[in-house]
Amino acid sequence: MSDIDHPSDTIFPPELEYVIFKLAAGQDRGSIPRLMLVAWRVKEWIEPLMYQPLLFESQITRDNNLGPVFPFERLPQLSPNVAAGVKSSIFPAASVLAILDKLPSLENVFLSVAEKLYTDSEPGEPLPAAFTRLPFRHLYCALGDLLFLPALDSLEYHCFAGLTHFELFSEPTRWGVDTSPWPANRNSWALIAALPSLTHFALNNVYPASLIGFLLSACTRLTCLVLLSVAARGGRYPPAVAHDPRFVVMRPSFVVGYLRDWVSGAEGGPDYWARADAFIAERRARQRTGGEDDTFIYPGEPESDTSDSE
C-alpha cells in the first residue's frame, strides 16, 4: 500500500489548513477553544474569530441581549494578533479613542456614543490618527456628535475611501434639513455624495422628499438608500423618488431587532442591508418586465398616519 493510502501520513499545505480551520471555526464558534489546542499556528488563525464582532460590555449590549460581551477593562490583555483580527465592534459610551488605538483593523463600527473625537477647546484640530488610519467599510454613527463641523472635510481622509455602507443616526445641526435646494458645497449633504465608494446609505427618521431626491441624484454610486422611519408615507414622495428602485423605507417591525440585526450582519449573516438589496432587486425586475411597482415600503410594514416633512 502506498503512502498516499495512509491518511495519517497526509500533510496539507498550510494555505489549505488555514482555510479548513477558518471554515470550521466560523461554522461553530463554540469549537474555537478546542481547535486552538491543535497547534500555535491554528490558534493564531482562529482566535480572533472569538471576538467577531467584539461587543463591549455596556448598558446597550446588556439591554439588547446581544450575546457574550467583553469588559473594557480587559482590552489591554488582548494579544496583538487578536486585536489586529477584530474587524467589527459596538463601542461603549466612553473611551472611544482608547478602543480605536487598540483595534487597528476595524472595518465595521457601530458608535452608539456621543463622545466627540475632539476637545471643546480645540475643535478644529485634525482627527486623531487612531481614527483616520482605520479602513472603514461599514460605519454607523451620529456624524455631528463624532466630528466638529469644520473638520468635516475629514470625510476626504483615507479612512473613508473604502466606506461602502453608512448609516447616519443624525446629521450635524448646521447642515440644515429645512432648506432646499440642497447646496453642493462643503460642510453639507454634498459631502456624502463625495464619498468615493459609498453604495449603501441609511438615514434615521423622516427627511424631506427634496433631500432624498438630492441624495439619489448626487450619489452616483449609490445602489441602496434606506429610510429607517416610523412616519414615512408613500404619498409624500414625488414619482421621481417613489419609483427609484434604490429607495426603501423600513419601519418599526424591523427596528425592534435593530442591534441584533447589526450583530447578524457582522457575523456574516443577513441584515437590513441584505433585505433591502433583495427588495431592490425585486423592484428592478418588476420595472424591467413592465410589472406594477406600487411601493418602496419594505413588505409587511404598515403605513403610518404621521405626516412627513416637506
DSSP secondary structure string for all residues of 56-86: B-SHHHHHTT-S--B-GGGGGGS-HHHHHH-
Q: Does residue 245 share a domain with residue 107? A: yes
For the beta sheet containing 224-228, the strands, ordered from the edge strand earlier in sequence to the opposite edge, are: 54-55, 88-90, 108-110, 138-141, 165-168, 200-204, 224-228, 247-250
Q: Does residue 56 share a domain with residue 45? A: no
- The predicted pLDDT at position 281 comes to 94
Is 247 part of any domain? yes
Q: Does residue 147 share a domain with residue 278? A: yes
- The predicted pLDDT at position 248 comes to 92
Is 301 part of any domain? no
- The predicted pLDDT at position 108 comes to 95
- The predicted pLDDT at position 175 comes to 63
DSSP count for the chain of H helices, then E strands: 14, 8
Q: Does residue 94 share a domain with residue 8? A: no
Q: Does residue 33 share a domain with residue 173? A: no
Q: Which residue has the cell 459631502?
A: 191
Residue of 103, 200, 185 whose CA lies nearest to 152: 185
3-state SS string over 254-301? Answer: HHCCHHHHHHHHHCCCCCHHHHHHHHHHHHHHHHHCCCCCCCCECCCC
Q: What is the pTM of this model?
A: 0.81
CA angle 24, 27, 64 (to 5 degrees): 140
- The predicted pLDDT at position 155 comes to 64
CB 109 within 8 A of CB 84: no
Q: Does residue 64 share a domain with residue 88? A: yes
Q: Does residue 278 share a domain with residue 164? A: yes
What is the distance, to the nearest Å, from the Cα of residue 65 to the centroid of all Cα atoms in its chain?
19
Q: In whole angstroms, give the CA distance from residue 307 to residue 310.
A: 9
Is 175 part of any domain? yes
Q: Which residue has the cell 450583530?
A: 263
Q: Does residue 105 share a domain with residue 31? A: no
Is 256 part of any domain? yes
Is 238 part of any domain? yes
- The predicted pLDDT at position 121 comes to 41
Q: Does residue 129 share a domain with residue 18? A: no
- The predicted pLDDT at position 149 comes to 47
Residue of 209, 292, 199 whose CA lies nearest to 246: 199
What is the distance, to the nearest Å, from the Cα of residue 260 to the centroid of all Cα atoms in its chain?
13
Q: Per the structure block, which three cell numbers stand in for 211?
A: 433631500
- The predicted pLDDT at position 278 comes to 94
Q: Does residue 238 share a domain with residue 124? A: yes
Q: Does residue 233 share a domain with residue 115? A: yes
Is 300 part of any domain? no
Helix (H, G, I), strand (E, B) or coil at 153: helix
Domain that holds residue 134: 52-288
Q: Does residue 135 share a domain with residue 42? A: no
Instruction: Please tell me what DSSP assigns to residue 160.
Output: G
Q: pLDDT 10s per residue in the chain (310 long)?
A: 344 444 545 577 777 876 777 776 666 776 777 777 777 677 777 677 777 788 888 777 777 778 778 888 888 888 888 888 899 998 765 677 788 888 989 999 988 765 566 554 455 556 677 888 889 999 998 776 555 544 555 566 778 889 999 998 877 666 655 444 444 444 567 778 888 899 999 998 778 888 889 899 988 899 999 998 766 666 678 888 888 999 999 875 554 578 888 988 998 888 999 999 999 999 998 888 877 776 888 876 544 444 444 4
Task: Report the number of distinct structural domains present in the chain.
Answer: 2
